[in-house]
Chains A and B, each alone.
Chain A
Amino acid sequence: MSLRNLRGRVAWVFDEDNFDIDRIIGISNLKISDVEQLAALAMADCEPGFAATVQPGDLLVGGHNFGYGHPHFQAMRAMRHLGIAGVIAESFSPGFFLGEINMGFPLITCPGILASVQRGDEIEVDWESDRVRHLPSGRSLPLQRLSSAERGTLEAGGLIPYLKTRIASAKGQQPSVNPK
């Protein structure tokens, strides 16, 4: 299996460091579970009508320590529903990073990204060369390589399918799993 490259427009640039992603849908809306409703609320405080501007495959760009605070899953559920395919940031808050990778949602750490792109630019995440390419200028930046477990989780589409493939391959090699 290999990861499919991501290619899309920058749908939004979050240039604030330590951005609390709960603000994307509004903290008072965290109890909403209906994904349609959540998607309609995305970025509503900053730009009413944001939802209608997103095309499938679009990407988000963030600053340092993106996802700091006590991140809930609703914001990225809403973004995925709109068609957002991943987030590229200067760096991520570890809890947010682990949580979203386990959901099978690509988070790409790419120092320098913030100064290199603007909203609307088309960019590409190339997993072969581990680079993020800014298509209008042809320039590219190295992205921070994922661990094999993180990469496997994205390839499988999330933690559960990934663990299934891992366990199946482990069983292939060593038929009995331990019990003492």
Chain B
Amino acid sequence: MPQTMAEKILARASGRTSVRPGDEIDARPDFVIAYDFPGTTDVLFRAAREEFGMDRVSSPERFVLFIDHMIPAAAPKEEELHRVTRAWGAQQGVPVHERKGIGHQVSAELGYATPGALIVHFDGHVSQLGAFGSYAFSARRGVLETFVSETLAITVPPTVRIVLTGTLQTGVMARDVFHHLVRVLGPSSCAFKAVELAGPVIDEMSIEGRQTICGQAMFLGATTMLIAPDARTMAWLEGRSRLDLAPVHPDADAVYERVVTIDVSELEPIIVVPPSPANTRNLSEHLGIEVHTGYLGSCASGRLEDLRAAAQVLRGRQVKAGFQLNVVPTSQAIMAQAAREGLIECLVEAGAFISSPTCDYCYGRIATMADGQRAVSTGTLNTPGRMGSVNSEIYLCNAAVVAASAIEGRIADPRPYLEDVK
């Protein structure tokens, strides 16, 4: 039977030859990933132990934990939570990675993002491992099932195939493409569905750009988003993959619930205006709004191409006096490479405040905004209160837009700055 990527991966993980949308299966995840956060990992550990009497997870080699939130700790109870996580990992034989970067990125660097793998987390941004051909999704609190049993109950989702055609204009980055998908298709268009992303735009796109798009699948309502591995994927993964799985590709005659082709040639840089990730507009409609702070980082953006774009805009220029530009590379590996390329020096000289990798800027734990302040951000969300006061506002945009806005102190178009460089 012809199958989509999602169907092939779920079939293998549930020991079947094939599955169809709507099938209820018990699948064995290849990897269970989590980061520690109050009310999640602590609750999972306690529930497994106290409610189920589980002293050890089964097959601990499938598990991996990240400490990427509340890093560095700013209160004793935060460090206490990390201590609980480290102790649990040591007792279970489960690796705990801390201070290496945002887990969704580091799990790719460490080879958990194996093409064809089934991966579960409680956080939906794990879907970015789909950039490598993994089926990675959030079970929310249902991830508990994987702590107390080998398998997880899953209903096989239908697949929507999105084909991107055309050529991206200067100043348009991967996250603009994603926001455009939300604008064209709608924020619930792919609810409870898997998305296969393909087409010449994806073929030409960097691995980093693919991670950016796949990681935001939840804002289309999608369970996950996958890209079939190609030569670029396999080269990136060389020497990294932790599993020896046959990479999965969709069958040519696979059955999709819907196939959508979107041409992105006319796409301009996007701005997502508060208070919802669905409010996608052209940047040109919102130029000139005064902004006080900028955040370049997160699991969505903050990779090398984002840092390079910001450096291109900021090279030889200065962040406007009083504007707070926070640049947070997504992982230590990315930060080290950025240093080798001179990007860190360029950004620091322009007036950026550079932090080691952490999730904390994205949800307002640090660089917290006060009433009436406004941010341009490459974070994941713009809901009120996400980065501080509920009376502060977040405009989501690409890294070049953050950099241009930092120079002008208002929402600005990066294209004139990028053209200067050429």
Contacts and interface: CB of A to CB of B under 8 A. Distances in A.
Partners in one complex: yes
Given A18-B188, A91-B188, A70 B383 contact: yes
A99 B384 contact: no
B221 A69 contact: no
Contacts of A164: 51-52
B355 interface: no
Contact of B47 (A70, A98, A160): A160
B218 A147 contact: no
B47 A27 contact: no
B24 A179 contact: no
A32 interface: no
A166 B149 contact: yes
Contacts of A93: 188, 191, 221
Interface centre among B52, B275, B383 (most CB of A within 10 A): B383
Interface string A142-180: 000001110000000001100110110010000001111
A30 B218 contact: no
B230 to A, nearest CB: 29
Counting chain A residues whose Cβ lies within 8 A of the other chain, the interface size class is 20 to 34
Contacts, number: 93
Contact of A68 (B52, B144, B278): B278
Nearest to B28: A178
B149 A177 contact: yes
Interface stretch (B3-11, B63-71, B135-143): B135-143
B51 A170 contact: no
A115 to B, nearest CB: 18
A170 B26 CA distance: 12
B247 to A, nearest CB: 24
B155 A147 contact: yes
Interface string B43-66: 000010001100000110000000
Contacts of B145: 159, 163
Contacts of A28: 385, 390
Nearest to B124: A95
B358 interface: no
Given A164-B52, A166-B149, A18 B138 contact: no
A64 B58 contact: no
B383 A178 contact: no
Nearest 4 Cβ contacts at the A-B interface? A65-B188, A149-B153, A98-B140, A27-B390
14 contacts: A20-B276, A28-B390, A65-B191, A70-B381, A94-B221, A95-B218, A102-B141, A149-B24, A159-B144, A160-B47, A164-B52, A170-B149, A178-B58, A179-B59
Interface of A: 18, 20, 22, 27-28, 30, 64-65, 68-70, 91-95, 98-99, 102, 147-149, 159-160, 163-164, 166-167, 170, 177-180
Interface of B: 24, 47, 51-52, 58-59, 124, 138-142, 144-145, 148-150, 153, 155, 187-188, 191-192, 218, 221, 223, 275-278, 381, 383-386, 390
Given A20-B383, A27-B383, A94-B223, 16 more contacts: A18-B187, A27-B384, A27-B385, A65-B188, A65-B221, A68-B188, A91-B191, A93-B188, A93-B191, A95-B140, A102-B141, A149-B155, A160-B144, A163-B52, A177-B58, A180-B59
